[in-house]
């Protein structure tokens, strides 16, 4: 079944294109910087007994984040990359029993939670709202499961921080949609102004074509008719040739005027 022209997605305007491009670039690069910092702080805060597991998870997080950024910038299979990204982050959440120090009582300070939270917010800027919401719910659930597995006795204390992940996702989505609507309104205003300028230009061209047509009609055709009516006018062959030239010129001007009028109606 063919898609109708009205069903096709509207092309992005310059303001929306710039916002989406710059916003995604800044968000993804900011996410990479935060994850690298989280990994570094995790290595500094981890004791010797958890250092191997934490180092493995931290290095994997940094490597994956860099690869994720490069793939996004190259536009390589965005759906596959998104699914793999959510799967990796969910797996990272499940390692908290081995990668987050047991002495760290406040879950909000866990490096895994910080890395996941910035990824959840980034999803609101890089994916449609439904995809961003699904990613937020999946990662929040994975984080909760990771805390339950790692700290079965105190996991209830982490619930407020995990719920805050969903609040962050909602706020990020709302902010993105708000700015996106403003950009689209700006694009509509620019398009309307450009259309008005084009219609004004075509209107002037249309008037100029009409004036030129009337001028030619007066200066050439009327003169030819006047010569034909004169008693001592030129020969009939000369008059016929002149009349043919006059008619040809008028036809050319009329065709040009009709073309301008058609463009004006389309504008």
pLDDT bracket for residue 7 (50, 70, 90): very low
What pLDDT, in 10s, does the model give residues 93-141?
Answer: 999 888 887 777 677 788 999 999 999 999 999 999 999 999 999 999 9
Which pLDDT score, from 0 to 100, does residue 121 have?
94
Which of 29-43, 147-161, 244-258 bottoms out in mean pLDDT, i.e. has the lowest? 244-258
Cα-to-chain-centroid distance, residue 174:
16
**Cα–Cα dist 177/185, whole Å:** 12
**Cα–Cα dist 250/224, whole Å:** 13
Q: What is the average pLDDT across 4-31?
A: 78
Torsions phi, psi for 122 (to 5 deg):
-60, -35
Q: What is the average pLDDT across 168-194?
A: 92
The 3-state secondary structure of the chain reads CCCCHHHCCCCCCHHHHHHHHHHHHHHHHHHHHHHHHHHHHHHHHCCCCCHHHHHHHHHHHHHHHHHHHHHHHHCCCHHHHHHHHHHHHHHHHHCHHHHCCCCCCCHHHCHHHHHHHHHHHHHHHHCCHHHHHHHHHHHHHHHHHHHHHHCCCCHHHHHHHHHHHHHHHHHHHHHHHHHHHHHHHHHHHHHHHHHHHHHHHHHHHHHHHHHHHHHHHHHHHHHHHHHHHCCCCCCHHHHHHHHHHHHHHHHHHHHHHHHHHHHHHHC
**Cα–Cα dist 67/23, whole Å:** 19
Which pLDDT score, from 0 to 100, does residue 75 have?
83
pLDDT bracket for residue 265 (50, 70, 90): low
Q: In 3D, which of 99, 134, 107 has the Cα closest to residue 120?
A: 134
Which pLDDT score, from 0 to 100, does residue 83 have?
93
Q: What is the average pLDDT across 205-218?
A: 70
Which pLDDT score, from 0 to 100, does residue 164 have?
93
Percent of the chain at pLDDT exceeding 90:
41
Is a pLDDT exceeding 90 seen at residue 1?
no
């Amino acid at each position: 079944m063919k898609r109708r022209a009205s069903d096709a997605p509207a092309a992005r305007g310059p303001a929306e294109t710039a916002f989406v491009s710059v916003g995604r670039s800044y968000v993804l690069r900011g996410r990479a910087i935060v994850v690298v910092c989280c990994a570094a702080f995790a290595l500094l805060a981890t004791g010797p007994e958890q250092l191997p597991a934490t180092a493995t998870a931290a290095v994997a997080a940094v490597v994956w984040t860099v690869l994720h950024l490069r793939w996004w910038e190259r536009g390589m299979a965005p759906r596959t990359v998104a699914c793999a990204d959510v799967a990796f982050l969910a797996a990272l959440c499940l390692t908290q029993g081995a990668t987050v120090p047991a002495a760290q009582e406040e879950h909000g300070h866990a490096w895994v939670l910080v890395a996941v939270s910035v990824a959840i917010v980034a999803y609101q800027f890089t994916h449609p709202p439904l995809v961003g919401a699904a990613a937020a719910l999946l990662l929040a659930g994975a984080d909760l499961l990771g805390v339950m597995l790692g700290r079965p006795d105190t996991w209830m204390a982490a619930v407020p921080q995990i719920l805050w992940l969903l609040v962050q996702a909602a706020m990020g989505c709302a902010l993105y949609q708000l700015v996106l609507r403003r950009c689209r309104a700006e694009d509509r205003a620019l398009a309307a102004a450009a259309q008005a300028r084009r219609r004004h230009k075509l209107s002037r061209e249309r008037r100029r074509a009409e004036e030129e047509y009337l001028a030619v009609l007066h200066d050439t055709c009327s003169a030819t008719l006047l010569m034909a009516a004169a008693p001592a006018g030129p020969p009939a062959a000369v008059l016929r040739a002149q009349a043919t030239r006059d008619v040809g010129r008028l036809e050319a001007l009329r065709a040009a005027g009709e073309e301008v009028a058609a463009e004006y109606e389309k504008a």
